[in-house]
Amino acid sequence: MNDLWDSTAAAACTTTLDECVYGSRLLGSDPDLVLHGGGNTSVKAPWIDVTGRQIEALWVKGSGWDLATIETRGFTPLPLDRLLELARLDELSDPDMVAALAAAKLDPAAPQPSIETLLHARLPHRAVQHSHADAIISLTNLHDGEHRIRDLYGDRVIVVPYVMPGFDLARAVGGCWERQAQAATIGMVLLNHGLFTFGDTTQEAYQRHHQLIEMAEQILGSEPERSPHAPATAARPATDPIDIARIRRDISRHAGRPMIVRRDASDEVYQFVGRADLEAATQQGPLTPDHVIHTKPWPLTGRDVDDYAVRYGAYFEANRCRVDTDLRMLDPAPRVVLDTELGMLAAGIDVRRAGIVADIYRHSMRVISRAQDRFGGYVALPAGALFDVEYWDLEQAKLRRSGEPPEMTGRVALVTGAASGIGRGCASEFLRRGAAVVGLDLSVGVADGFDSDAWLGLEADVTDPAAVNRAISTAIDHFGGIDMLVLSAGVFGRSQPIAEIDPDEWSRVMTVNLDANAATMAAVHPYLTLAPDGGSVVVIASKNVPAPGPGAAAYSASKAALTQLARVAALEWASERIRVNCVHPDAVFDTGLWSHDVLSERAAHYGLTVDGYKRRNLLSVEITSATVGRLVAELCGETFRATTGAQIPVDGGNERVI
């Protein structure tokens, strides 16, 4: 752990709470200490109420806030006297504790306080910092972890056996403090949980955190580096992306919803999955019980998702008696897959949560490897302790409060021509509806098309089959599959009468608008067959199919042929649960083809204003890329689940089409 405390930056803090925010961000910015909402901090400081009365308060991290980005409004002020009164009770259920803490908030608008609030209140120090530091977990998750901690730190820390977070942990800490605390005590190690440090100021608590973790890191670095269990080099076997898509399909089936699956093929991962003791090392449990919410009790080693689901069901049945209330089993799908060929796959209901799973397990691999190779073996908590957290009523309530995610969460769309115009409009709408989106385009700007972890923009020429296949492989590594395909890439070509057609221009338009789309459909088809909710294809055709105009023979013919191709695909692919539909846009003027000057010229030709020209249709509405994007996304959604082979105009009403 690096000591990042900057006295100059800290001097800018005007209150003790400001300093707590600064120290919290330092703690949260180090992934070796805190991951994705973990850890918590507090400071005891006055609260001034509306009458001017001063109340001694505990300001504690609010639930849902991340330490790396927390602000002052992320801390909840509570009266310290009331917290100590609650902590002195003989018993208090966690739901009753949560209700009592909510009622005690001095600021009703503040977030729900941390589940470990009473623990913070009981510690007789003004500032407290808590992390799940890898270095500490590496020592506590050993068969002799408690002995090693006591031998390393002596009176500097008190040691608390594992107890679930909440009221019982606060009581356990109180008892251990009375028995173990000494004048030299600057921290507290919760076995299989993490590290607390404290002091008169946040700076003191933070620097004590650094001191204790540095001591642990020195011990961890002093042992031999290798073990016969670890492979000498990271093997890189050839992989087929379709294997990942099959695993995603199986995970999604057991999860009961489409899932995102992210692949990690780093050297570190291949070293880990190549371990001779992989099964024994990984099937005990996560580093801390908190991780079970994200990663499930253990990873799947290999590819048999069905067998994993059976094992998870047995785990549930063996432990359900630990809870008095009726329980409904959570989905039995694995969240981590370790495979000697594929590396590591991390699954989540969306890209963010799949990323959290991957981050957590990368840290888990390092701790497990270190324990196995240097300290005689990794030891996790028993299955019952994991079950208690996974089925904790507070966690279940949190899941219920989260509500339903956006409708396309977990699904993956591939959109060609996605850097601008209709393609971009489609990509934007899919993202808004919760999908992960892979955008292909010739433009280098496609990579930065959207500021979202659910966006993957790839520069690729759709007329180059090798480039398309590389893009598909990259897409599968990022998201696990392809459920929806939107063929938007196309060119209009030069306006020419048939008698003057340039064969090269004809060939160019046909290559882009027809041949490339046919090849892309064929390349994506195997993945669409594995789409958890069935595949969907939308072809961006044109008004020129039902109502062609003079001078656009190549464009009109190519779009007509593409429409016919889509009709054949609808016939051939229906038995594989793949729908194929076409949309026929017209007069979409917010694309690169239509500059202000061109629009002005065309409007003047018809004796119209630019706005009037844009609305030159029966409904007098403007057709935008976003208009088309909404229709395309809807075609891929539940509303059109029973529709295939359709051709839908999006033109505001055209007399020639009608």
Contact criterion met (CB below 8 Å) for 199 and 126: yes
At residue 376's C-alpha, the angle toward residues 373 and 377, to 5°, is 80
Those residues whose C-beta lies under 8 Å from the C-beta of residue 48, and which sit 6 or more positions away, are 54, 55
Place of tokens 């429409």: 563
Taking the C-alpha atoms of residue 381 and residue 363, their distance in angstroms, rounded to an integer, is: 17
Bridge partners (DSSP) listed for residue 41: 129
Bridge partner list, 206: none
H or E element: which one contains 529? none
**All residues at 6 or more sequence positions from 446 whose CB lies less than 8 Å from its CB, including other chains:** 418, 419, 439, 440, 457, 458, 459
The whole-angstrom separation of Cα 520 and Cα 469 is: 9
Q: Quickly tell me which residue has 């020419």 as its tokens.
A: 496
Structure tokens at 222: 């002093």
Longest dimension (CA), the chain: 99
- Distance, CA of 524 to CA of 491 (rounded, Å): 21
Question: Tokens representing 328?
Answer: 């409904």
Please give the DSSP secondary-structure letter assigned to residue 404: P
Kindly report the number of other CB atoms within 10 A of residue 448's CB atom. 10
Q: Which residues pair with 338 in a beta bridge?
A: 301, 344
Distance CA 357, CA 264 (A): 11
| CA distances from residue 434 to 355, 357, 426, 481, 523 in whole angstroms, order as listed | 15, 19, 13, 15, 25
Catalytic hit among 312, 315, 555, 613: 555
Place of tokens 């840290």: 363
Beta carbons of 45 and 16 less than 8 angstroms apart: yes
Residue 238, classed as helix, strand or coil, is coil
- How many Å apart are CA 441 and CA 428, to the nearest integer? 15
Structure token digits, residue 260: 């995102």
Give the CA count within 13 Å in the CB-facing half-sphere of 356: 18
- Segments in 55-133 forming alpha helices (H): 80-87, 94-104, 117-122
Is residue 555 flagged as an active site residue? yes
Q: Which helix (H) or strand (E) holds 479?
A: helix 465-479
DSSP string, 302-318: SS-HHHHHHHHHHHHHH
**Is 532 exposed, middle or buried (CB count within 10 Å of its CB: 0-12, 13-18, 19+)?**
buried
Tally of residues, the chain: 658
Rounded Cα gap, residues 544 and 173, in angstroms: 75
For residues 505 and 502, what is the distance between their CA atoms, to the nearest angstrom?
A: 5
Q: How far apart are CA 219 and CA 23, in angstroms?
A: 26
Catalytic positions: 555
